[in-house]
Structure 1
Amino acid sequence: MRALVTGGSGFIGQHLVSALAARGETVRVLDVRTPTHLVPDVEFIEGSVLDPVAVDSAMTGVGAVYHLAGLPGMWMPDKEDFHRVNCVGTETMLAAAKKRGVARFLHCSTESILFRAKDSQGVVADEDLQPAQMMPGAYTRSKALAEERALEAAASGFPVVVGTPTMPIGPHDHGLTPPSAMLRHFLNSRIQLYLDFIVNLVDVRDVASGLILALERGRVGHRYVLGGESIRLRRVLRHVAEISGRRHLAISVPGRFAELAATMLDFVADNITRRPPTGTAEGVRIALRATDLSIDKARCELGYLPRPIEPTLRETLAYLRNAENNDAMFDVGKRALGTAAH
């Protein structure tokens, strides 16, 4: 059965494609970017999930769809891009998959739209969590609507399952997704101003395995949280200090202060620099509402077994440091070439 992976050039996507290929499956990737690492015998189609013609063509002969394509960051110059790519792109994919009679469809969602119910206590089972009615910003609104569309399709009889990764980390995050960007920021900051909240870190390779399990074993119309370990950010920072061997001064800041500072950064990015800020108000609001997510449903129904996160955290930090050193060497080489040319 040929599998189509949208967003297969992304961080999770490239690991999913490698995992599928290692199982001997026939894989096709639809993405606007060429993969940094081309897996042998994997077909790549350059195209957007917003292009119905490209999507329909990519769907030819496909039995299973892993829909991962989306905008993962929380800032864009045009906020409508989030809705167009994350929501409308999902609608386009679902329509084409229905038309082609695809046997299974996996929609990749995000933990950022899941929040604790007001009357719940302690760890909350993923089946008890629902997308909040009022999302913290444009990114989460678009992802919540996309998941709604996927579940509506499942309710109408189309075989859709939702996989919800938490915060994936690991090697080869070339585009620096938010978790890796956060780790690199703290790795390089001698003074660490941080908002202490619960983060659920998971190895990206476990996410890839979990998505495959969800597509193959998941119940139609159900969501499966694919997470790892829930820990507070201050503990992550201790790990960063221990693993890096560098001294850092970590200072916890109140939530209200963090949100106000991030709002100012948003304003500067939106109106002056037109470049991504170091933090966003939406990101702070998500952190303030973060909860301890349970993976029991995925563990029991899918056989999902994530590895301990500390070895992966060490591997991720080593990768980020090496990548940064390689970038610095590349910049020095470019300057040297430029000097020689003159």
Structure 2
Amino acid sequence: MNRPRVLVTGASGFIGGAVLPLLGAAGAHVRVLAHRHPVAPEPYTEIVDGDLADPASLRGIARDVDAVLHLASYIGKDEERCVAVNVEGTRHLVAEAERAGVTRFVQLSTAAVYGNGPFRELREGDAEPRPVSATSRSRLHGERFVLGAGGAVLRPYLVYGTGDRWVMPALLRVLRALRSGLPECGTALLSLTEVGSLAASLAHVTVSTPPRRATGVFHACPDRPVSLRELVVAAHRHLGFPLVGGGQSFEAAQAELVRAGCDGHLLDLFGVDHWFDATRLATVGGHAPGTGISAGLAAHSAWYRAQLL
């Protein structure tokens, strides 16, 4: 049996670092697109230089590969950079894949493209995306090139685990600011995906057989949501985060965040239902249920404590 050859972008990132070993374990030969951040060479990797914002550097990059796994994206407020990387970069990468005859293209996107909630058991296609940030708008635009080529787009919501520089640090800022209690007693239901589970889903969809089995949009989320209260209790137990009790209105909590110098939008992420149904991903065998939030945070507690506390 021939080893699958996979081109991977974003291999040095939070998600990429978890996916790469799984592709190697599956017997794949991995061509890594390296730009600003070096990737440690492994026996199964081939490192090539390129920049998604420079179409000329991508010429021929997909030659002789069976699949493309597109994990790279720019996350920030620079709209020109968002367009250059997330939109035009994806467009040029898809064009190179099509030019090389690649029949499988998998992209990591985000459920943030739906915009602010509440979302409860949302299935793919049940809501029109309404992104509220430059990053989300550009990532949604980039998805269209992948979907137009018959590829697969995976949308997790909040992803946590070793390497997470955003989700749990943001929660810690919120808890330190909310001295009067969680909004609405912490009943918001959230889809939180552990990085290892997401990596397993991405690897499976990329190298499983038959080719092009997975097409369209898939929510890459666990079977059950986690309430904000459950998340806070687990973060307190395993990571030493403040245990915030009580309860106040959403509006009062948001005002308290702002007074403390935090971005009030953080409460839209943690204090409003964002529960995404992942049944469709299970139909192609790509759903990795993972572990509960308590076991998940426990598994990554040493890294979080070293980084945050």
- TM class, shorter-length: 0.7 to 0.9
Matching residue within 143, 149, 153 for 1:147: 143
| Cα distance, 1:35–1:212 mapped onto 2, change above 3 Å | same
Matching residue within 295, 303, 306 for 1:319: 303
Contact 1:65 1:104 in 2 (8 A): yes
Counterpart residue identity of residue 313, structure 1: L
Whether 1:87 aligns to 2:123 is no
Counterpart residue identity of residue 100, structure 1: A
Contact 2:175 2:244 in 1 (8 A): no
| Cα distance, 1:147–1:3 mapped onto 2, change above 3 Å | same
Indicate the residue corresponding to 1:29 in structure 2: 32
Contact 1:191 1:248 in 2 (8 A): no
| Cα distance, 1:284–1:116 mapped onto 2, change above 3 Å | closer
Cα distance in 2 for partners of 1:86, 1:43 equals 24
Gaps of 5+ in 2: none
SS at structure 1 position matched to 2:122: coil
Identity of aligned residues (%): 23
Post-superposition shift, 1:27?
Answer: 0.4
Query: What does the per-residue CA deviation read over 1:214-263, in whole Å, with 9 as the maximum and x for residues that have no partner?
Result: 23356454212111241122221111112245653456564445666788
Contact 2:52 2:93 in 1 (8 A): yes
Of the structure 1 ranges 40-49 and 95-104, higher mean CA displacement relative to structure 2 is found in: 40-49
| Cα distance, 1:316–1:97 mapped onto 2, change above 3 Å | same
Whether 1:225 aligns to 2:219 is yes
Gaps of 5+ in 1: 155-159, 266-276, 326-342
Counterparts of residues 294-305 of structure 1 (less than 5 Å): 294-305=277-288
Counterpart residue identity of residue 12, structure 1: I
Contact 1:3 1:28 in 2 (8 A): yes
Counterparts of residues 47-62 of structure 1 (less than 5 Å): 47-62=50-65
Counterparts of residues 1-342 of structure 1 (less than 5 Å): 1-35=4-38, 37-72=40-75, 75-76=76-77, 78-114=78-114, 122-126=120-124, 128-132=125-129, 134-154=130-150, 160-173=151-164, 176=165, 178-183=166-171, 185=173, 191=179, 196=186, 197-215=188-206, 216=208, 219=213, 221-228=215-222, 229-245=224-240, 248-250=243-245, 254-256=249-251, 279=263, 281=265, 283-285=266-268, 290-309=273-292, 310-324=294-308
Counterpart residue identity of residue 233, structure 2: R
- Alignment RMSD: 3.3
Query: What does the per-residue CA deviation read over 1:19-58, in whole Å, with 9 as the maximum and x for residues that have no partner?
Result: 1012221001113233465434412233321221222243
Contact 2:5 2:65 in 1 (8 A): yes
SS at structure 1 position matched to 2:37: coil
Contact 1:112 1:286 in 2 (8 A): no
| Cα distance, 1:249–1:262 mapped onto 2, change above 3 Å | closer
Question: How many residues are aligned here?
Answer: 298
Cα distance in 2 for partners of 1:280, 1:180 equals 16
